[in-house]
Chain A
Amino acid sequence: MRVLLVEDHKPLSRALKRGLEEEGFAVDIGEDGEEADYKARSASYDVIVLDLMLPKVDGLTLLKQWRKDGLEMHILILTAKDTTADKVKGLDLGADDYLTKPFQLEELLARLRVLVRRGHQVKDPILRIHDLEIDTAARTVRRAGQTVHLTPREFALLQFLAYHSGKVVTRTMIWEHLYDEYDENTSNVVDVYIRYLRTKIDKGHDVPLILTRWGEGYMLRGEGE
């Protein structure tokens, strides 16, 4: 899941980026309003974490502009402004969630997961495809009752495929949602991770869940197939 973190206070953005990345998020940082605007319009983010007091263009102006221009990514406002009036204003301008500083990292992560689920019209935090169970909250995976250990990036890839189960997911889509701006885009990096996943998920099972659609991309086997 790719997140744009719009925050000008560097120590915070550094710490958050590290924390989110360790949870499998791909994190881009926007240090000021202009940079954030550019990035939000040029890449597809699952969630934008938006600070309000920003150099150059402030957060509320960005929010208003984005919603006006039809950008539909989820936006979580993360700010030191903690009055009810500020919250109401932020939410009314189109934000999906509002969190005030200082905050608990766990809470921010949970809220981000909620937003991701909402993005895929899913409410249950546990994704079940055939005998595969993906607990998006606990970040655990079981296949036929057997726990499968995945790295954050493998988990993110599996989760992404699971959200799109039954549909073909292109390499570009995977790339766009699972890698941040600084990751080097080499043609086979996605294929490598798919291979890792296949080894961990499908090996030893009769029905392979991760399917390859030649010329298109990959897909997780849907419920009816």
Chain B
Amino acid sequence: MKSIRLSLIVYFLVLLTGALAGVSWFSYRTTAQALHQQQLDARKLIEAQCETQTAAARTALDRRLVRQALAMLNKSQSMFVHAEGLWNHLGVFGAAALPGAHANVGIWAERNRDKLAIEVYRASPIHTYIEELDDDLVANIDHDYEHDYFQSYRANGVVMQRSESLGDLAMALGDAHKLTPLLTEHFDNAELKPGLKVRRLTLRTPVQKYDVINIERLWKGVPGPNPFFFPKTPPKGPNPPKGPNQPKGKGPVGAGAWQRPTVFPATVPTIYIQYASNLAPLDKKIAAIEKERDDQFAGLDLSIARELDQLRARMFWISVVTLVAIWLGGFGVIQLGLAPLAKMSDAVSKISPKNFQLSLDTGTLPHELMPIAKRLKETLDHLQKAFTREKQAAADISHELRTPLAALMTTLEVALRKNRSADEYREILSECRGSGQHMYQLVERILKLARLDAGADLYRPDEIDVVDIALNCVDMIRPLAKAKGLDLRLNLPEPIITQTDPDKLREVLVNLLHNAIEYNKPDGSIDLAVVRTNSQVRLEVRDTGIGIPAEAMERIFERFYRGDPSRHADTPHAGLGLSIVKCYVELMGGTIKVRSSTEGTTFTIELPYRASAPAVETGVQATRELIRR
């Protein structure tokens, strides 16, 4: 058995569960996507941070290189000494010793780590002389002994200073010396030896800061800076060394006054500083940064995965709780929604043959159920009426049969109480026959109605003369009328040939005439008229009886209804005659009307006039229609 409630619950819950699953899935997807996006953004950020840190580390290294190189350059600059006036003292020797020399011949001395390089030049160096010295510039440079490598050298390739870390390693000059601008720097990476990679800065610059000694003054005992043993820092006397572009001869000249020496720009030496630092610490640092980045990545991935797990768990529990709530709620809601149906079902289940009442307040019903309830009520009312009618009919039938049966039995019992004469027996038997006939007629009528109800009594049309049938009936009834002293008057036209059921017409007329006699006043009259109009045959039976009371008019065609509950021995008045008449007239496709007053009653029957033979179907159909009604 299918249950609406179960189906509804199942469908509803399946739907809700599906919707919930959809919503959960969608929420999860959206949240997960957001989390993934967040993860990507965070990755980018970490990546960018890492890059920034890497770049900063590289920049820091480069800056240090620059700083260190500049410091070194600064010190290297200070190492140069320009000797003037040498030529004047050398005179001819000088010219001889130094072919091509002229007045402009000068000496550049370079104080180095542990050597003194003296370069004699005119327009270009013509002689280089290197003397070992104790001075150590390298020691003066604050540097990372382990990782820093640096050297300075002249344009001619003479290395001036080298860091101890370099040892036997050769730091190639590279392309730096090809740089043309006066002061320039060049960063590059170099490999000092296999596995030793360094970051290197090469600076190239002409000497701009140097000490000048005047040999002439030296010789003349003019006080001034000692050309060979001067302090490590440039002298800061009244004549501090200036750049090579110092205009000549503008300073104070004369004894005691230090004259700015004349220096030919072409002879100013160019120095190169190479400062390198092992890349290992930087790489290590970068590796550390990258490791940190990777750690952060891992942490991020882990946290996102954890969050997703949590999200999944949360979604699961939310779904479970919601599902349970929906199941319980849905069950309740459906229960509530179906309450009217249950109410109706209850009310319907209370219906029994004893109680046809639908105990349901239709006012509280939802409008969807109203038509059902309404129709049900109507049907039940009809059923109850039919049922009551059936019960009443059964009661009526048994009641009507009891009296003649009682008469029959009593007559027989009385007869059997003692011996009687033949005449007495004859009389008693005649009484019994009368009762038997009474019962027979009653049973016949009941059966007629039963056949009509069952649709077994069919309309059997035949081509007949209505007037002839009317005359037949009058002949049958005339003795009765005569016995009662009633005047039977006829108003019959020429023969009316039509298609109708002769037996039923006869029954109808006999019944009506019988009633007209039965309920007439003494010395009254009965009129029978038959008229044919275009489409109808009208039969009229009029009596001069006491009439039918108004309250009985509506009920005279009801079965077992009697305006007067009396019975007479000779005719069964079970209140069935007019019911049969009405059914028969309707079966013949006609109508019956009754008019009544205290002057008498008139029954009018109108039958359809059919000249030609109709199809048998019509009869069957008429019967069916009657049954339907």
Instruction: Give A residues with C-beta under 8 Å from B.
Output: 8-12, 14-16, 18-19, 22, 32, 53-56, 58, 80-83, 100-106
Contact = CB atoms under 8 A, between A and B. Distances in A.
Interface stretch (B134-142, B262-270, B382-390, B401-409): B401-409
Contacts of A12: 403-404, 406-407, 410
A15 B410 contact: yes
Contacts of A8: 566-568
B564 interface: yes
Given A11-B435, A32-B566, A53-B565, A80 B402 contact: yes
A9 B567 contact: yes
Contact of A15 (B395, B400, B431, B564): B431
B552 to A, nearest CB: 15
CB-based closest 3 A-B pairs: A55-B566, A12-B407, A10-B569
7 contacts: A9-B407, A9-B567, A15-B411, A22-B417, A54-B566, A80-B406, A102-B405
B269 to A, nearest CB: 152
A15 B427 CA distance: 11
Contacts of A15: 407, 410-411, 414, 431
A56 B406 contact: no
Nearest to A32: B566
Given A15-B414, A19-B414, 20 more contacts: A9-B403, A12-B407, A14-B411, A16-B410, A18-B414, A19-B410, A19-B413, A22-B414, A53-B565, A53-B566, A55-B565, A56-B566, A82-B398, A101-B403, A102-B402, A102-B406, A103-B410, A104-B409, A105-B413, A105-B417
B391 to A, nearest CB: 11
Interface string B395-438: 10011101111111111011001100000000000010011001
Contacts of B411: 11, 14-15
Contact of A80 (B403, B418, B569): B403
Nearest to B435: A11
A103 B407 CA distance: 9
Interface of B is mostly: helix
A57 to B, nearest CB: 10
B564 A100 contact: no
Contacts of B406: 12, 80, 101-103
A173 to B, nearest CB: 28
A10 B566 contact: no
B565 A54 contact: yes
Given A16-B410, A54-B566, A9 B417 contact: no
Contacts of B402: 80, 82, 100-102
Nearest to A108: B410
Contacts of B418: 22
A205 B408 CA distance: 46
Interface string B430-471: 010011001000000000000000000000000000000000
Contacts of A18: 414
Given A80-B399, A105-B413, A9 B404 contact: yes
A80 B406 CA distance: 9
A55 B564 CA distance: 7
B413 A11 contact: no
Contacts of A103: 406, 409-410
Nearest to A81: B399
Given A55-B564, A104-B413, A11 B569 contact: yes
Contacts of B408: 11
Given A15-B407, A80-B403, A101-B403, A9 B414 contact: no
Interface in B553-589: 564-569
Contacts of A81: 399
Contact of B431 (A14, A82, A102): A14
A16 B569 CA distance: 14
A83 B402 CA distance: 13
B202 to A, nearest CB: 137
A106 B417 CA distance: 10
B591 to A, nearest CB: 32
Nearest to B401: A80
Given A22-B417, A80-B399, A11 B405 contact: no
B461 to A, nearest CB: 39
A61 B408 CA distance: 28
